[in-house]
Structure 1
């Protein structure tokens, strides 16, 4: 029987940094190491997924499949929910990966009493993390979430009738290890972590007030609570040559705090600043990954 996680932590990586000769940067650029760090942070009951862009222009990650408006350097012109591309691609990637895992480690077909069907178990939550340019995917996902329908969980009478009419059910097929629809993914997001995000253009943080208002409205309609955590270092938040990064971050925090006051505690936001006493450098940009406070 396949292991069912308490949550799926999905980490969207940024540009490639190679040949620095810095062992810290090299270690924290390794995708397997990042996955292990995620498990150490969120706990052994989660599944960790580390996603890279499918296209690179030199070292620059180009998340074209997730954000259709990006230019050749992977910088977005805008974030639009049309077609829900980021959630669609994320679901597709996770599904394909899971199918590959099943080929390597076949699940045992076990029969379990229907009274313990998956409909009675909590489905895994989703935590999304965007590192550096990977934060653009978070902006796109949050935009799509703001325009998605609220999905209510629970057992309908029809589900109960089906459960009691069959003595046994296939436990492994009923349980969703990962979200299998765009709507399912978006409605399962409960934590959003911006990890030292930044761009050489505007768009590192979501500053669309309408999208944040829509998130707040979803919560009043019964949507799952969501927490936004903005993690930063002097490398990004104190860069005088790219002052828009700090300005965008501050604007997003103001909007989130304003809506949090109206949400009855269902929307939470906090900032965490790392290495405040150190001068900005590239190493701290990667060190933040293993220093993340996700509590």
Structure 2
């Protein structure tokens, strides 16, 4: 969660952004970067008509390994979904606001490229927050009940997992991928998953509120015939320096919810910096982080964790750099 000055409202159309992406990211380095959008650059719909998000796709840059034997060799169907933090927006939009200009290295396009180099066999999906208050505070209202500044109010039934599944299915279809997820609500959605489909979830800063909301929904989702097979394909979840402007629930501390996460078998990865977990003005963040990781360890979860830049002063620069270092 970033704490900066105010910026102006308004911004370029998605059509203009689409034309500008190659120039912003470097066309020779980003042949697979595109908006998963309709002809007019519209947002991708999710679980219902009231929930939609703009979605950026970076296609894989490396051929996936082919598996033989009992399993049929499959084409690459590995996916990574990234939820960005405050300030992070499309390059062209960040370039026109004084408070966001210094952080253009962390635009949605450039982060998609960073993640593509780290996960070259994955389709990288960057999910833009549905609302950016004052053009800098990311609000993931489609995934979790939130105030204007994006502080969440978690519950077990907001529908984050259902929205993500529907959003991915629609985005994969719009992008013309050969073996997309079945559409939300279709008869095939409960019967099978695409061959080789796997999913990694990554949240950075404010984007971690989406991961937290999904943790609260796990128990109910496992009993859902459409969501259960989708959840079984989640292999890894990464929390990268989670933070938001609320006074609590930066990290999940409810033991029942964490027990559901621990028994899922998903590999959990926690990467933080002093910017979030050692801020004396928000001491609860560090306490919650410690409780989150300790409870998961006690429950036997597959957990790895690291404090980055431990010996350096807390800074926004290093807060962002965790995206490169994790």
The reply on whether 1:279 has 2:319 as its aligned counterpart is no
Which runs of 5 or more residues in structure 2 are unaligned? 1-73, 89-93, 180-191
Q: 1:238 is matched with which residue?
A: 278
Three-state SS of the structure 2 residue aligned to 1:279 is coil
The reply on whether 1:15 has 2:86 as its aligned counterpart is yes
Distance in 1 separating the partners of 2:291 and 2:318: 24
Three-state SS of the structure 2 residue aligned to 1:148 is helix
Q: 1:196 is matched with which residue?
A: 241
Q: 2:59 is matched with which residue?
A: none
Distance in 2 separating the partners of 1:192 and 1:143: 14
Choose from 168, 172, 191 the match for 1:98: 172
Higher relative contact order (CA 8 A, sep 6+): 1
- Are residues 88 and 269 of structure 1, via their aligned partners in 2, closer, same or farther at CA, if it must alter by over 3 Å? same
Residue deviations 1:229-264 (CA, integer Å, cap 9, x gap): 11111111111101111111001011100111xxxx
Q: 1:64 is matched with which residue?
A: 141
CA RMSD, 1 decimal: 2.6
The reply on whether 1:74 has 2:150 as its aligned counterpart is yes
The reply on whether 1:145 has 2:145 as its aligned counterpart is no
Distance in 1 separating the partners of 2:206 and 2:126: 14
Distance in 2 separating the partners of 1:150 and 1:41: 34
Distance in 2 separating the partners of 1:208 and 1:122: 35
- Are residues 206 and 100 of structure 1, via their aligned partners in 2, closer, same or farther at CA, if it must alter by over 3 Å? same
Residue deviations 1:79-119 (CA, integer Å, cap 9, x gap): 22225x111221222122222212xx8x59xxxxxxxxxx8
Q: Using structure 2 for the length normalisation, give the TM-score.
A: 0.64
CA contact (8 A) 2:161 2:221 kept: no
Choose from 253, 267, 270 the match for 1:207: 253
Distance in 1 separating the partners of 2:284 and 2:318: 20
Aligned positions, number = 231
- Write 1 or 2 for the structure with the bigger share of helix: 1
Distance in 2 separating the partners of 1:39 and 1:150: 33
Distance in 2 separating the partners of 1:51 and 1:257: 30
CA contact (8 A) 2:193 2:230 kept: no
Which runs of 5 or more residues in structure 1 are unaligned? 109-118, 153-180, 261-266
- Are residues 26 and 76 of structure 1, via their aligned partners in 2, closer, same or farther at CA, if it must alter by over 3 Å? same
Q: 2:231 is matched with which residue?
A: 186
| Post-superposition offset of 1:291 | 1.4
| Post-superposition offset of 1:22 | 6.8
Distance in 2 separating the partners of 1:122 and 1:192: 21
Distance in 1 separating the partners of 2:287 and 2:302: 20
Three-state SS of the structure 1 residue aligned to 2:238 is strand
